[in-house]
Structure 1
Amino acid sequence: MKTITRTVVASMAALTLGVGLTSCDDDSSQSKETKAKQKSYDQLVANQPAGKMEYSPTREAINEWVKTWGKRGKLSYVYIQNAKGEYGYFVMKGMPVARCQMLTPTEKVDASANGKVVVALPGMDGTYSAGSMCDTYYGFDATTGVFMEFTVGTNQSFFLFDKPMTMPEYASARQLGPTAVEDVRK
């Protein structure tokens, strides 16, 4: 009798689970399109699998970047070109930093009673950012330590080097900060 009861209970549980799963099927247009895209993707991957690399030039470039900029006291030479094509330069300690870079997370996921919500966190200065300062950079002068900030964007670009440039367009660049290239040449 116990075996029959267990069998009946197990069968009813399986039937309930089966009915529950079929009632969850999504026949919406969006679901059909999603399934069609996935099927197409799966077919493309099967017919054209991703190639395998034995060497990555991207990884090499990143490792070279780390070797170049991962040194304490490394100087950067920032050349700024304005809309007229004229150049100026700064000599800075380390690399210029985008104002939107942070040392701490800028948001967190709050699992409240209403589900998961992404909540903004204050920056290092205790204020909140709209993330709109990514075209503004700052850093410190190479010899005086003076704080410097500049913005790039419409008709203005900057070029970052780890050594002073001697090409004609850079050779005539006007000194914009307290330190001249001659002040730090070794």
Structure 2
Amino acid sequence: MKAIARVVTASVLALIAVCGLAACEDDSSQSRENDAKQKNYDHLVAKQPAGRMQYSPTREAINEWVETWGKRGKLSYVYIQNGKGEYGYFVMKGLPVPRCKMLTPTERVDSSSNGKVVVAQPGMDGTYDSGSMCGAYYGFDALTGAYMEFTVGANQSFFLFDRPMSMPEYADAEQLGPTSAEDVAD
């Protein structure tokens, strides 16, 4: 009798498992489209695998950026062009920083029985920010340390260099901050 009960129990559990697996399969049109997309991708990768580069110019450029800007005391020359095509410049300590950059996380993920929710975190000043200040940049004057901020967009662009520029469009650039290029000339 115990043997029959075990066989029946095992059979019922196996049937439940098979039914459960069948129920997990998604036969929706979205699932079929996703499957088709994945199969096509797999087919294309098999026919045209990604090539191998002997050398990466992108990695070289990133490493040169690190070499250029990864030093304390490096100056940046920020040339700003207004809507009229006129240029001005700042000489700053290091790189200008977008105002939306933070040293602490701006969000955290909370999990509950209802799923995951992204929750805003306060900034270093104890206030919340929408993260919409990415077009505003700030930095500090090369000699005086004065705080400087500028925005880009709406017919205003900036060009960043690690040394003063002598090209004609920059040669007549108006000094916008306390420090001139001549003040910090090597």
Q: Same fold (TM over 0.5)?
A: yes
Pairwise CA distance, 1:55: 1.3
- Tell me the residue number matched to 1:30: 30
**1:61, distance to aligned residue in structure 2 (A):** 0.7
Rounded to whole Å, the distance in 2 between the matches of 1:7 and 1:56 is: 63
- Unaligned segments of structure 2, at least 5 residues: none
Aligned to 1:185: 185
Distance in 2 of aligned mates of 1:150 and 1:53: 40
Instruction: Indicate the residue corresponding to 2:124 in structure 1.
Output: 124
CA change 1:23–1:153 in 2 (3 A) is same
TM-score (norm. length: structure 2): 0.94
Question: Any unmatched runs of 5+ in structure 1?
Answer: none
Aligned AA (2:84): K
After superposition, where does 1:61-76 map in structure 2 within 5 Å? 61-76=61-76
SS in 1 for 2:73: coil
Aligned 1:20-169 pairs, distance under 5 A: 20-169=20-169
What is the TM-score of this pair, normalised by structure 1? 0.94
Structure 2 counterpart SS, 1:105 = coil
Identity of matched residues, % = 75
> 1:14: Cα distance to partner?
2.6
Residues 57-116 of structure 1 deviation map (CA, whole Å, 9 limit, x = unaligned)? 111111111110010010000000111111000000000000000001111110123221
> 1:5 deviation in Å?
5.7
Number of equivalences: 186
Matched residues in 2 for 1:153 and 1:71: separation?
A: 29
Residue 13 (structure 1) shift: 2.5
Residue 128 of structure 1 and its aligned partner are, at CA, apart by 1.1
Residue 141 of structure 1: CA displacement? Answer: 0.3
Supply the distance in 1 between the matched residues of 2:184 and 2:3 (Cα, whole angstroms): 89
- Report how far residue 180 of structure 1 moved: 0.4
Deviates more, 1:48-57 or 1:62-71: 48-57
Using the TM superposition, give the Cα deviation of residue 40 of structure 1 relative to its aligned residue in structure 2, in angstroms. Answer: 1.0
Report the 3-state secondary structure (helix = DSSP H, G, I; strand = E; otherwise coil) of the residue aligned with 2:51: coil
Q: In 2 relative to 1, CA 146–26 (structure 1 residues): closer, same or farther, beyond 3 Å? A: same
Q: What are the Cα deviations for residues 7-30 of structure 1, in whole angstroms up to 9, with x where unaligned?
A: 554443232111101012212111
Q: Which moved more, 1:36-45 or 1:8-17?
A: 8-17
**How far apart in 2 are the matches of 1:27 and 1:119?**
34
Q: Which residue of 2 aligns with 1:174?
A: 174
Between 126-135 and 136-145, report the one with greater CA deviation: 126-135
